[in-house]
Amino acid sequence: MVMPERLKRAMARMAPLTSGMSGAASPMARGRRARAPLKLVGAALLCVGVAGVLGGCAGWPQAPTYTDAELKAMCERRGGWWRGDLIAGYCEFQAASLSQSP
């Protein structure tokens, strides 16, 4: 079997990488090692940034869905008694079984 010339040249270029030569002497290996810490630092900064955004938004106080005036109006429309002065946001209804006595 005869090897094409292009394949021989490619194997000759790869020989220092695959032979007993240490990885430190290989220019390709040095480039890979130099980029690895940069990738780790970039990934760490991205994770810290995402955690900061999520943690910062979680600490904001939530506004109430309805004000006491709106809750009182809904309670009265449904036939309840507003007890928001005694218990915050409480609307009292009479049970259906007690409303009609025999």
Output the pLDDT for position 58: 73
| DSSP 8-state code for residue 100 | S
Output the pLDDT for position 45: 92
For residue 25, give the amino acid letter: A
- Per-residue pLDDT, averaged over 56-71, amounts to 82
List the alpha helices (DSSP H) in the chain.
Answer: 5-18, 27-58, 68-77, 96-99
